[in-house]
Amino acid sequence: MGNETMIPLSYYIGLSAILFTIGVVGVLTLRNAIVIFMSIELMLNSVNLSLIAFSAYSGDPAGQILVFFSIAVAAAESAVGLAIIIALFRNKLTVNIDEVNVLKW
């Protein structure tokens, strides 16, 4: 068939898991709101990778459609999120989340 790949499916899922965990570490330990936001994008991307891998190995195009919608939603999310960060910076003159505790109980 020409697609006799030697890469097992679990390699892709394992890579996706490692990238997701790096994103989680970034969200939990960093203090700069923009870099936290970039870590969230990294996590979204790792999940997209696992969806594409499952889609290709099961022969179902629905996974690629889901990734298409996921990328569209990520674009909308980043536009709104960055607007919130700009509004936050105007108000507080910082993007350090330790100094933004108005809603903290």
Partner 1 sequence: MNLELIIFLVLAVAAIVSAILMITRRNPVTSALYLVFNFFVIAVLYLFLRAQFIAIIQITVYAGAIMVLFLFVIMLLNLGEDKLMNWKLNSSKSIASLMAIALLIEILYFVMYFTPSAGLSPKADSMGTVESIGKVLFNGYIFPFEITSMLLLAAIVGAIMLAKKKFSEGTDGE
Residues 24-63 that bind partner 1 (CB under 8 A): 24-26, 28-32, 34-35, 37-39, 41-42, 45, 48-49, 52-53, 55-59, 61-62
Q: In terms of C-beta density within 10 A (0-12 exposed, 13-18 middle, 19 or more buried), how is residue 102 classed?
A: exposed
CB 85 within 8 A of CB 37: yes
Q: How far is the CB of 77 from partner 1 (least distance, A)?
A: 8
x-or-dash string of contact with partner 1, 74-103, rule CB under 8 A: xxxxxxx-xxxxxxxxxx---xx-x-----
